[in-house]
Structure 1
Amino acid sequence: METLNKINEARLFRMLAKSSETGAIPGQGLRRLALSAEDKEMRNIFKAWCEEAGLMVKVDDFGNMYGRREGKKNLPPVVLGSHLDSQPEGGRFDGVLGVLLALEVIHSLNDNEVDTERPIEIVNFTNEEGARFEPPMLGSGGIAGVFDEDYVHSRQDHDGFSFLDELKKIGYHGTKENRIKEFYSFVELHIEQGPILEDENKQIGIVEGVQGISWLEVALSGEADHAGPTPMHLRKDALMAAAEIMTQLESKAIQAGVTVTVGKISVSPDTVNCIPGKAVFTIDLRSADDQKRSEAVKEAKSCIREVCQKRGVKVDIEELWDTGKADFDKHITNIIEKNAENLHYSSKRLLSGAGHDAKYVNNLGPTAMIFLPSVNGKSHVPSELTEDDDIVKGANVLYQMALELANE
């Protein structure tokens, strides 16, 4: 099989550089929150690039953007893509590579005058990160039926702005008819966001599935008092209760073989010499085993209630998000592996610890993911980095794999 580089590296890195300027923050990071002015600017750029590549661009009612390259036959398309939004202090590669490398595949097919049997579509999903509108992956979850239209449109950010109003404000509220309904295969290329590929010196990750994820929000109500006159044994300290809960959850998670993260916490009153009367924090629980994760959620709730009862603190637990493990299509993963081998790239099969749009798209049809190494396993931070050589290898695998699938 011919293994010559089919992509235009200079063009690919020009696109990546332009994306990295749009919403840039110090430290080579990116702040491009969903439906923000920066997101609008990047969407406009992406739309123009798609049109330059001869793609027909459509937008659905969740703001998901599609660019379609027609095939020889009117068959269900091969779909490639990811997302262009970022964390508040995120990196330049998370999601972005999956969209821009897909676009480079289209450009390169055009350059090489290759016609495929099936159409190929690229997609930019809305609000994958969930950094502005919770929960994450609203665009892909909307088309997959995980969230209904009213639910997605009614989500509000921390300033009270609704998803729908902000979608209209940036000019990307499309129609329900434009949702992707049927496809032959979907492949999302993404950075690993973990250390495994780099640690094992593997160039391509073949993702076989995504862990299940549960999010809880815990609100504790005790009594605010003065730090000096209030004896320790008479306190109803919401923050100390939270601290004990967190410590116990960490220990229980290690024993149960799941991961637990407390990513957000707020305290009131937030002063040095006051006992906190209220504490609100989140819990993120993940596992590749849905039963283990379900048991861990039950154990966490039981632990929270026991600690609060002991300390005289009231508690309210809200389930923010719950999504099970996803298993990806074996035919597609085998094709990814075969093309990596043909290109003489080392590879490894693994599970994703992070959620991705592919997780929900998997509900609609055959789906898989390609991972590229993340330097030091870093992601969601400005120091996030995937080396140029690894990006080119990912683009080559995506090109060959897309070409094979589109001709099946």
Structure 2
Amino acid sequence: MVEINGSRLDARLDQFAAIGATPKGGVNRQALTEGDRQARRLLTKLALARGFDVFQDQVANLFIRRRGRYDDLPPLMMGSHLDSQPTGGRFDGALGTLSAFEVLESLEDAGVETERPIVLVSWTNEEGCRFAPGCMGSMAFSNGTIPNEWYDKRATDGASFASELKSTIESLPEARVKALAFPISAYVEVHIEQGPSLEAEGIPVGVVTGIQGTRWLQIAVKGQTAHAGTTGLAYRRDPLWALTSALSQLYQNIMPPDPDARFTVGRISASPGSVNAIPDEVTCTVDIRHPKLERLDEIEKEVISAINCAADRQHCAVDISRTFDMPPCTFDQNLQEVIIAAAGQLDLEWKAMLSGAFHDALFVNRVAPASMIFVPCHKGLSHNEAEYVEPLNALAGCQLLAKAATMMATGEL
């Protein structure tokens, strides 16, 4: 049995958390920044010291490869990401990447020869907060190409994606640049749950069955600006009244009767934004999620209908566009069974879970069997500087990854 060095894993987490550390204990290590490059250089240094092969691709995905007995077999892949939110936590992404590295080190320590090679990946720009969309690295890997429009993108700080990508790749000359995509046998990712259920139930690991679908809408309701004090009800064309009445109806009708549904208005604004003027236009974003594609379609139609009906009553015009559409995915059943069997051998209690957030595994699942292992995070906090994972839970997730990876890469199953 491969023994995980929990103290080493904790030390690695501390070491990487120091890169981009914030005063409140979190991390600001956004994609393709100098902090991101520093983390990539540290991981590369650690990997080369252990004799692992290191390479990257044209979208700056970073790969660390441990050879197998039959080295030309498609490798087992595991990993996550190292980039963070502007006020992110120290475990989101980093735990999965460093757990995978600890598995490679533990296999090396034990002298275990696997049938096939194992590759650790640190995906580029999972978070999507500096450059949109998120999951750029895994998306490009699964598609086998980088969309041309990405090169014209600008970061929230004005930086050019093309320039920052080039600088990031060039900052790591030790890692040769290889083709964008290559065959893999399977992919497993450890990640914090980003929700409270595992901690609340006292369960150390979750086996993720899939990821719910996500759809984003941009909504604009257009009315007429008029004086707040002199314009009576009969003469108003108030887009904010229309929008808020529709949203009130949707809040009542979508989530309460359907526990699997998610409906969120994350951003709302009114123009001209004067305290004593009826707005002429209001805009908002809507995020809807559901594990079933047909229900996702139904919710979108319900949102569009409610907005249009409310706007008609106020004699307002409506413009609704879909800005993001990610269908739900189901992870490979055989791979889940391997992870469950590994949990049984380790005597780890586990729970089947659906992911509410999307991850790199969703895109890899399009080209190879994929699954995920969740570990509890304190109070479910994530994308937050207070994000925390108990060392014992981090260790449990890493042990399960090691056992499952060994079973898959040594031919035990």
TM-score, normalised to structure 2, is 0.91
Contact 1:135 1:321 in 2 (8 A): no
Using the TM superposition, name which of 392-401 and 239-248 deviates more: 239-248
> Which of 368, 373, 376 is the matching residue for 1:373?
376
Aligned mates of 2:20, 2:341 — CA distance in 1: 37
Aligned mates of 1:225, 1:171 — CA distance in 2: 54
Contact 1:15 1:100 in 2 (8 A): yes
SS in 2 for 1:143: helix
Q: Is 1:308 aligned to residue 306 of structure 2? A: no
SS in 1 for 2:31: coil
Using the TM superposition, name which of 130-139 and 385-394 deviates more: 130-139
Structure 2 CA distance for partners of 1:268 and 1:160, relative to 1, 3 Å:
farther
Contact 2:264 2:287 in 1 (8 A): yes
SS in 2 for 1:130: coil
Q: Which residue of 2 aligns with 1:40?
A: 37
Matches within 5 A, 1:339-358: 339-358=342-361
Structure 1 letter corresponding to 2:184: F
Matches within 5 A, 1:261-272: 261-272=264-275
1:191-229: per-residue Cα shift (whole Å, max 9, x none)?
Answer: 111122122221110111111111111233333444444
Aligned mates of 1:323, 1:176 — CA distance in 2: 29
Structure 2 CA distance for partners of 1:308 and 1:203, relative to 1, 3 Å:
same
State the Cα distance separating 1:42 from its structure 2 match. 1.9
SS in 1 for 2:29: coil
Structure 2 CA distance for partners of 1:307 and 1:185, relative to 1, 3 Å:
same
State the Cα distance separating 1:396 from its structure 2 match. 0.9
Matches within 5 A, 1:30-179: 30-73=27-70, 74-145=72-143, 148-171=146-169, 177-179=178-180
Percent same amino acid among aligned pairs? Answer: 38
Aligned mates of 2:176, 2:310 — CA distance in 1: 49
- Give me the CA root mean square deviation: 2.3
Contact 1:68 1:120 in 2 (8 A): yes
1:8-55: per-residue Cα shift (whole Å, max 9, x none)?
Answer: 222211211122122222322222222223222222222222222322
Using the TM superposition, name which of 145-154 and 384-393 deviates more: 145-154
State the Cα distance separating 1:271 from its structure 2 match. 4.5
Q: Which residue of 1 aligns with 2:241?
A: 240
TM-score, normalised to structure 1, is 0.92
Aligned mates of 1:181, 1:165 — CA distance in 2: 25
Q: Which residue of 1 aligns with 2:200?
A: 199
Structure 2 stretches lacking a partner, 5+ long:
none
Contact 1:138 1:152 in 2 (8 A): no
Matches within 5 A, 1:193-342: 193-254=194-255, 255-257=257-259, 258-342=261-345
Aligned mates of 2:223, 2:138 — CA distance in 1: 39
Contact 1:53 1:106 in 2 (8 A): no
Q: Is 1:20 aligned to residue 21 of structure 2? A: no
Aligned mates of 1:308, 1:175 — CA distance in 2: 56
Structure 1 stretches lacking a partner, 5+ long:
none
SS in 1 for 2:347: coil
State the Cα distance separating 1:356 from its structure 2 match. 0.7
Aligned mates of 1:19, 1:273 — CA distance in 2: 51
The number of residues matched between the two structures is 405
Structure 2 CA distance for partners of 1:234 and 1:126, relative to 1, 3 Å:
farther
